[in-house]
Chain A
């Protein structure tokens, strides 16, 4: 069946070396690879051989939207950035990074589903895409400007309705942890694609579209959207869905007192100012495109940098809370995060680098003289402004840190490297991402949850970026009035059971440790993680929000069972092609195998799917430990469920054939990847 909506049909290819612009058809790739992460992975497979380095001109920078972008489908403002990642350490490898905001719909309306950028321009340029055409324009005068200023300059030239993806100083200097930013803080951070963009001498991508995206079944789309809104829009959770909410009303998607934006979680100077109407500071909801929730807030005030508050930015400089305990979350904490935005540095990576520097300084492995940083006053404005400046400009010690925390630690070696393992959990050749087992899995400080460990060893960046699994744990905790610090796993098991049954097929999967309370329950880990990966791939390929989808936990119903059919129904309504839930999971499995193949081609095997020893040594808050043999057993089960070779973790020839990935099988044969190990 041919699609009658969703994709607009063209992919734009920009060769910056020869300043050549061409187009290819999207339908060479879809509907098989859906869009977003799937589409990007396939393009990457076809065009970037493993020999190419991340910062080489031959690397591709792929901006891929999915079928839902540019339509009214809830949370469809997202898109994916893909390519060989300079951040993955020590081996550069394929990675993806999602971005929200308002850029993606403009690209679709301009007539393109995706953007492939290759080559390297001889001089700084930016790309201007509008209504079926693209131009490469000179950016000499934009080079060196911060991310906000660059956007303002481009808005002066092309109008304020233009949306711009832009890099800052860090990206220009090919930092491996530079982000690509749009508007006041939406950014593609993980993966370090800002550095890739900088290596191509590309400062910005400005997009403005006045076209349209056809929806095959508009009425059905409105019905599903209404259903989704009734599940989680703030308005509909009031008794009368058509009454406006009162100001200051607190609601969160998981049912707790989360409030508006993550800033509301952090008590202190800035929140007090925002809540005082006479102060001139304010915090207002700020929504990504077509989002029914608007979880983020826009913070502004007379002497602070305006912008959006996200979790990564809000938590980036928590050291300042320790430095100035009387002020709590202060203006300095905020300004630090926004300064990182202006330089275009990935705030998430800074959440590993700053505490690691503090550890190293405490252990006397680095000195103030040696680094040129005021390490005695970590938490102060003086420290963070100097650190960010050094990192963005690659001055002195900052030159090393701009390579990313894990690479910097490896360079210092010895104890410094050992200390960094706490922040970079994955051992092997494909690490480089800060730990992200939020909350209940806030190991080593929280509770050990077996699926989190397996997700972590298998992902090709930080795991749990798809918040579905963790949202479910959070939601259950919030429902019984617990919070991040008071959660007790035993108490949430009964609430989780029906939810886990519906989402992962087993109520027992909710019990992540055994009845004796001493040992972890690994029994359901592999099937749960497999389903989690399918959810994750699908969500990133239709492209809907990381936090809201799949909707597994309903805070406002009696049994708390969510609805995982929402995404596939959105897809069916938009494209006019029926997609059942079962069929979509198959698709997810296929795309997961393709991503695995990409990692395998870069040299990844079962040996790289491991955690540092540290994670097996520490006990969690309940006195339980991850055991290496349990993890290994779950890995084996996961591989065999996915149809990958259990010994090597490489997709087998028959699996590749089953998923119709002939080109992958042939390439594996040529490279003797299959023959050697199976």
Chain B
């Protein structure tokens, strides 16, 4: 009896195990690494900023705190990595965040691989290495094909592109949003977000 049970259990375990393993492998393949035609692999970001625009009052503090924090005190909406599209007469406000795309168009086009996945801080955000960026603005254009306005932005003064890097894991726009419009979604497994899941915004 013991043997029978054992055999059945083992068989069951095997089947579930195989299916399970297969599932994990296929899902894991799909979730954690996406393979590009050229063979390059990009790990999914482990965090992303989400927006509930119905709460937004359009005060633009998210933009200002971003520029202040990330551009060494140069306060300017043009340097912000989060953008607030505001229709003033209609009273419609849309904070536009970087989606940290699963298949990032910006990262793929960078000719000098300045755009990388941030493994160091563990956010797996798509970040721009300041030292490597040559200011060609290809990432800006690539993003603009799907998302308007483009989320990577061009810092004219320093002649390089800048983009959201989730503030090393603690996004300041989320922290400073007075109305709780923004929040961070985190997952250790990685999040399948942005392009190609959403193709325009």
Q: Which residues of A contact B (CB under 8 A)?
A: 5, 70-72, 74, 102, 105, 109, 148, 151-152, 160, 183-184, 210-218, 221-222, 225-226, 229, 233-236, 242-245, 247, 284-294, 298-300, 306-308
Contact = CB atoms under 8 A, between A and B. Distances in A.
Given A229-B178, A235-B177, A300-B91, A105 B65 contact: no
Given A109-B77, A212-B78, A234-B179, A290 B61 contact: yes
A183 B55 contact: no
B132 interface: no
Interface in B125-160: 156-157
A291 B57 CA distance: 9
Contacts of A109: 76-78
B48 interface: no
Given A160-B87, A212-B78, A214-B73, A290 B64 contact: yes
B179 A213 contact: no
B27 interface: no
A210 B75 CA distance: 10
B116 interface: no
Nearest to A294: B57
A235 B57 CA distance: 13
Contacts of A152: 89
B198 interface: no
A313 to B, nearest CB: 14
A211 B67 CA distance: 12
A70 B156 CA distance: 18
27 contacts: A71-B64, A72-B176, A109-B78, A148-B89, A151-B89, A160-B87, A212-B75, A213-B74, A213-B75, A218-B73, A222-B176, A226-B176, A234-B180, A235-B177, A236-B178, A244-B180, A244-B181, A284-B57, A284-B91, A285-B57, A289-B59, A289-B60, A291-B61, A300-B90, A306-B90, A306-B91, A307-B91
Contacts of B71: 212
B69 interface: yes
Given A5-B73, A218-B73, A290 B60 contact: yes
Contact of B68 (A215, A287, A307): A215
A487 to B, nearest CB: 29
Nearest to A226: B176
Contacts of B76: 70, 109, 210-213
A488 B87 CA distance: 44
Contacts of A306: 89-91
A307 B58 CA distance: 14
B174 A286 contact: no
Interface string B78-110: 110000000111110000000000000000000
Nearest to B180: A244
Contact of A242 (B64, B157, B175): B175
A24 B154 CA distance: 30
